Amino acid sequence: MWNCTNIRHFQHNTQQKNLRYKQKSHHFIKLSITPRTHPKTLFTAMRNTFGSFGEFVKTHIECVIMLGETVNDTQQMDIEEESVKYRDLIQGNFIDSYRNLTYKRVFSLFWANRFHNNVTYVIKIDDDITIYLPFLIPYLSNKLNKTKVLECFLLIGAISYRNPRDKWYMCSSDYPFSTSSLSSYCAGPSSIMSADVTNEMYEATKNVPFCWLEDV
C-alpha cells in the first residue's frame, strides 16, 4: 500500500515493495483504475477482463487499482488481504469519497511519475468503464510519435453548477470566477497520456487551485 500526507506530499508503506510492476523492466501501458467504492466483486471483474492482460503481442501491461482509505475496518482488512494476494492495489491516506476524487487523481499522477516511470502510456479509467485492449494496443503501437499524447473526450463550453441541489455543485470557493463557463477540460471517465504528459500534468497541479471535481 502507498500513503500520502496531503494532496502533493506522498510517502509509501515499505511493507508493499513487491508490487507486480517491479517484475518488468518496461511497460507499454499502465492501466490506472479509480473506483469510487471498494467492492470486491468489482475488483474481481476487472482482474478477469481487461486486467488479465499481463502481456499482449509481446507488450507488457500493468493494471493497478487506486484507492483511498475506508472507515470500515472489515473493508480495510479485505483491501489488505487482496493487496497481498494480487499486488495491484495502491492506497493513499485520504478518505475515499466522491468529493475526494481530486486527491485520488493527483495521487495516481504522483504514483505513476515517482514509482512507475518505465512506461510508455498511462491510461486512466473509472470503474464504470471497460476497454478492449486487443484494439487499443495496435492503435497505440502504430503511433509514430509516442510523446505529447493526450487523448480524451474534450468538454468545451461546460458551465459551472451553482445550485446546491446539483450533483456537481461548485460554491464560490470551489470556482471563484464570475463567468459560468469552465475552461475546456478532459472528461473524467477515461484518458490516455504518454509518460511525459503524465509528468507535466502532475507538475501543473502545483500551480492550480484545488477543485473537488477532479476533471475540471
User: Angle at which helices 73-86 and 40-48 pack, to 10 degrees?
Assistant: 20
CB 35 within 8 A of CB 67: yes
Q: What is the pLDDT confidence band of residue 148, given thresholds at 50, 70 and 90?
A: very high
Inside any domain, residue 179 = no
pLDDT tops 80 at residue 55 = no
Task: Examine the pLDDT at 147 and tell me if it is beyond 90.
Answer: yes
Quick check: is 216 in a domain?
no
Indicate whether 214 belongs to any domain.
no
pLDDT band with cut points at 50, 70 and 90 for residue 20: low
All cell numbers assigned to 119: 512506461
Mean pLDDT of 111-137: 88
Query: Is there a domain that residue 159 lies in?
Result: no
Residue 65: which residues within 8 A CB-CB, separation 6 or more? 33, 35, 43, 46, 88, 89, 90
Please say if the pLDDT value at position 49 is more than 70: yes
The reply to whether the predicted model has a pTM over 0.75 is yes
133 is in which domain, residue-wise?
2-150+188-207
Q: Is the pLDDT of residue 153 over 80?
A: yes
Q: Is residue 174 part of a domain?
A: no
Examine residue 173 and state whether it is found in any structural domain, yes or no: no
Write down the pLDDT at residue 19: 56
CATH of the domain at 53: 3.90.550
